[in-house]
């Protein structure tokens, strides 16, 4: 069955590794991510954004994640990514999600605390884990569009108070990464990660994990990042394969002929991340 993130995140923080959240976009993503987990013996988190839920259908998302989790025998969480309101969070929990993110980062600080608290109360009552967010992560992810000049680093003291008041299970703070691929190298504010992580029980979540250099990832994990979200890199890897195959052969019409190799590319990308995050062998 699907499990809450509390099945592996406390251990990740204690032992100094991170569990990857890999976003699902279609069936092939689900298959690729779970195969990678099986080969690496790694816990994993399926991320489903509101956009992906609209695209795939809420019940398809849950059914695919459940079947994959059951067949693998791995600890797998199904997590709503960037949930925008209480109703959406409740709909996902009712449908079978084992974890949710409530992203109240665009609200004023006190309002974010108030709304997140409400989600935590409802989710914890049914054993569902919660991720909250503070600060604004730049870049584009589905419905979320934040211009670079509007991206703001989380204030560490506010982040600590946010956690103390909400008791979220995972704390996403904007520390300089962005959604999507980077134009340059991200300037990660390691001192913010370190200060917040030391003061709270929950692990820090790093959004926008795509295109971040390996050394930066390793350093962030050593300072308290216990969950890392990756989506764009899988999209880039799989789409490159599809583009090349279709360019090469105008007669290719069987979707299995290009989606199969695309799935393989996602699997290899995810395996690489699991090794980098140190979650391999931790299932
Ligand atoms: O919430 C999802 C992630 O933050 C994905 O970011 O597409 O840059 O890997 P990414
Ligand atoms: Zn994100």
Active site residue 81: yes
Q: What is the pLDDT of residues 161-188, one digit of tens each?
A: 999 999 999 999 999 999 998 778 889 9
CB-neighbour burial class of residue 251 (10 A; exposed 0-12, middle 13-18, buried 19+):
exposed
CB-neighbour burial class of residue 154 (10 A; exposed 0-12, middle 13-18, buried 19+):
buried
Max Cα separation, the chain? 59
ipTM of the complex: 0.98
Per-residue pLDDT, 99: 99
**Residue 229 C-alpha to ligand 2 middle, in angstroms?**
7
For the chain, how many structural domains are there in total?
1
Q: What is the pLDDT of residues 60-109, one digit of tens each?
A: 999 999 999 999 999 999 999 999 999 999 999 999 999 999 999 999 99
Report yes or no on 207 lying in a domain.
yes
Enclosing domain of residue 194: 5-277
Task: Dig out the tokens for 67 from the structure.
Answer: 């079947």
Which residues approach ligand 1 with their CB closer than 6 A?
23, 47, 81-82, 141, 179-180, 207-210, 229-233
Report yes or no on 9 lying in a domain.
yes
Confidence at 127, pLDDT banded by 50, 70, 90: very high
This prediction has a pTM of: 0.97
Per-residue pLDDT, 138: 87
Report yes or no on 200 lying in a domain.
yes
Confidence at 282, pLDDT banded by 50, 70, 90: very high
In the three-class reduction of DSSP (H, G, I as helix; E, B as strand; rest coil), residue 207 is classed as: coil
Cβ-proximal residues to 192 (8 Å cutoff; 6+ apart), any chain: 153, 154, 156, 159, 173, 175
Q: What is the pLDDT of residues 232-278, one digit of tens each?
A: 999 999 999 999 999 999 999 999 999 999 999 999 999 999 999 99
Report yes or no on 283 lying in a domain.
no
Q: Which atom of ligand 1 is nearest to the CA of 137?
A: 4
Report yes or no on 43 lying in a domain.
yes
Report yes or no on 192 lying in a domain.
yes
CB-neighbour burial class of residue 100 (10 A; exposed 0-12, middle 13-18, buried 19+):
buried
Report yes or no on 282 lying in a domain.
no
Confidence at 58, pLDDT banded by 50, 70, 90: very high
Report yes or no on 216 lying in a domain.
yes
CATH for 104:
3.20.20.70
């Amino acid at each position: 069955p699907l499990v809450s993130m509390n099945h592996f995140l406390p251990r990740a923080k204690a032992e100094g590794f991170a569990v990857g959240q890999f976003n699902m976009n279609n069936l092939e993503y689900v298959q690729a991510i779970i195969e990678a987990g099986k080969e690496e013996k790694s816990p994993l988190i399926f991320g489903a954004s509101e956009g992906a839920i609209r695209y795939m259908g809420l019940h398809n998302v849950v059914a695919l994640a459940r079947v994959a989790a059951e067949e693998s025998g791995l600890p797998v969480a199904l997590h709503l990514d960037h949930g925008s309101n209480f109703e959406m969070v409740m709909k996902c929990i009712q449908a079978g999600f084992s974890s949710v993110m409530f992203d109240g980062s665009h609200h004023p600080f006190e309002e974010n605390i108030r709304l997140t608290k409400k989600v935590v109360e409802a989710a914890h009552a049914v054993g569902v884990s919660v991720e909250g967010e503070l600060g604004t992560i730049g870049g584009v992810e589905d419905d979320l569009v934040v211009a670079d000049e509007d991206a703001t680093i989380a204030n560490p003291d506010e982040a600590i108070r946010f956690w103390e008041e909400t008791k979220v299970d995972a704390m996403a703070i904007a520390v300089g990464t962005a959604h999507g691929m980077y134009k340059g190298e991200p300037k990660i504010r390691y001192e913010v990660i370190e200060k917040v992580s030391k003061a709270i029980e929950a692990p820090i979540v790093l959004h926008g994990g795509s295109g971040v250099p390996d050394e930066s990832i390793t350093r962030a994990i050593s300072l308290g990042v216990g969950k890392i979200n990756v989506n764009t890199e899988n999209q880039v890897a799989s789409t490159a394969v599809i583009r090349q195959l279709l360019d090469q052969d105008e007669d290719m019409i069987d979707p299995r002929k290009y989606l199969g190799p695309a799935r393989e590319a996602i699997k290899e990308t995810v395996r690489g991340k699991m090794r980098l995050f140190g979650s391999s062998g931790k299932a």
